[in-house]
Chains A and B, each alone.
Chain A
């Protein structure tokens, strides 16, 4: 009976170990379209030079990508100068020149490429129709029209480099300001609910909605030039890598970037496809060609997350549960502690673990491990504690050592409950592992997150359906194991 348990565990762990870990150069992207497209452009360009790069898509926000670059889990990613000076480096002024930034980065072993050719900064926009009617070209032109209604995003309203500073710099005194969600701003403008909105200069919607972006003639907004950040050691090691990074400098105009964003966001084209068109490549190969390949790859990633974390939870949870059953006083404290772990929201758990374990699979596995502990510990404890008192006494009266009693009598009697606990942990684990994609752990969560970002339901389903199927499969697997480990004598109806 215990043999079956061992076989099942070994199987799970073997799935986990079968992960991809070749020593290729890796590039990353943030979790928005522009970043992903740029990284795909770099990947395809390098491919043209005969260099294969692995692109870890949509890993997270700036902090996560920066940390990954410093740790060496990626070798390059696209970043913006304003973000570098304001968020990543603390020893350079906000208006530092590229040379100053490069110097500061160099100390950390990081290189900065020449600007790619566009600036993705905040701006204000009005409809082209209004711009023509009132003759609006620059931000200064707005001052003469206090009657225009401003619809501004919440973030822009509150940022130091957003509305408060802008209002002072240009001396605006508008009669009406409304806070909007950024996603709704363009529709508000089109619907006539607002006349002026804030936007990012590369937003795909700018052309679609016929927006006139007003020129920042007083240079109030900081510069957010797109650049590559890369590891100096990787660039030195691989000539073609450095060549590709250089290749693209100055090659991506604002117009081109807007077009590429629009192609993905509005025309629903694939990022790889869009990047290939930009480079003039035909028939670009996706990183993982077919859907089956992708699915297989993600399934392995997902199983690895689930297998390792669950295996570890069993290895630690069983002894903890046994200990808790033996020493009842600690039992309650242990249960309380694992229950507290359970209440920590997964996102918060990931955030706690990132400083300790970096990003990627490791913090995700650690978080899943912690979540899996409660059901296993609790069921081990209750399985052992619910052995009827006369049987416990009969076991004690035989004079067998505690270890023998545990293996031959107590664990077999509690096996069904314990396996049910492991099964619960496994099913929860399969579901929670999809959130691992938030911190670059891969798995089924990746297409779900991308699908949410692009509003692409089929893509969401590409992750959600296999995740649900895997959960069902795991459920069935553990029901089978439960049946196998339940001693035959316990399945018989009692008779008198």
Chain B
């Protein structure tokens, strides 16, 4: 496969109703890095992520991929190199888990044997029992569905992996387990990873760089330790502190 993607965005702005979804955002996502976009709902995180593969277009500014400006007619080729996972997984209900995984590889001309080998390999990595691949999405639990969704994104060994609140709809225990697996996946693949989440501990656990967005603008950008040590302003401080401490539970 080819090397990981370098995404960079320059002066992105996007109006959304009366306000701004994105306000003059410029960022670089280095090849092979793992970045988490964090912030409250409506901060513009998802909009920014979607723009990276042309699912949304900025009113101003530009997205460049490996130094080339992203054009409408280049979207399909880019998306085939990028794995994309959404909060609800986006699995097609009329296809079994296995057929969901096979959609793109089959179009790229993979043999059924190659598809199955790859699917089994990923099932093992995501700790999904093999026989569940024969099931339809409606026959899987929420956590199983998200595992399949991540597997679908990884099937063709993509040059980048974009995840939009991938664990947002899961219960805490399942979420905890999947965070562990995702961290392992991010470590194993060479892809450039951009993850959207509003959960700060999750972001700090999964990513080496946090980008905090507020009202469409970048407030702070750096490694988790730096964010915790030197919050850029009051909002960042409140965002960090917006978690309840639990009493210690004896094992």
Contact = CB atoms under 8 A, between A and B. Distances in A.
Contact of A398 (B79, B89, B96, B140): B79
Contact of B142 (A397, A493, A496): A496
A401 B139 CA distance: 29
A175 to B, nearest CB: 81
Nearest to B54: A396
A398 B141 contact: no
A489 B86 contact: no
Nearest to B83: A397
Given A399-B104, A401-B76, A493 B138 contact: yes
B69 interface: no
A457 B94 CA distance: 51
B103 A408 contact: yes
Interface stretch (A68-76, A79-87, A387-395): A387-395
B55 A489 contact: no
Nearest to B79: A399
Interface in A347-397: 390-391, 393-397
Interface SS majority for chain A? helix
A489 B77 contact: no
Interface in A477-496: 487-490, 492-496
Contact of B103 (A391, A393, A396, A400): A400
A409 B96 CA distance: 12
Nearest to A493: B138
Contact of B92 (A397, A413, A496): A413
A397 B53 contact: yes
Interface residues of B, number: 31
A493 B80 CA distance: 32
Interface in B58-116: 75-82, 84, 86, 88-96, 103-104, 107
A413 B78 CA distance: 26
Contacts of A488: 94, 136
A404 interface: yes
Report the interface size class on chain A: 20 to 34
Contacts of A413: 92-94
Contacts of A391: 90, 92-93
Given A404-B107, A408-B103, A394 B136 contact: no
B32 interface: no
Contacts of B88: 390
Given A390-B86, A399-B76, A495 B139 contact: yes
Given A393-B86, A493-B138, A494-B138, A398 B93 contact: no
Interface in A400-422: 400-401, 404, 408-409, 412-413
B224 interface: no
A404 B106 CA distance: 11
B137 interface: yes
A394 B90 contact: yes
Contacts of B84: 394, 397-398
B248 to A, nearest CB: 32
24 contacts: A390-B86, A391-B90, A391-B92, A393-B55, A396-B79, A397-B53, A397-B82, A398-B103, A399-B78, A399-B79, A399-B81, A399-B104, A400-B76, A401-B76, A409-B103, A413-B92, A413-B94, A487-B95, A489-B92, A489-B136, A489-B137, A492-B138, A493-B138, A496-B142
Interface of B: 53, 55, 75-82, 84, 86, 88-96, 103-104, 107, 136-142
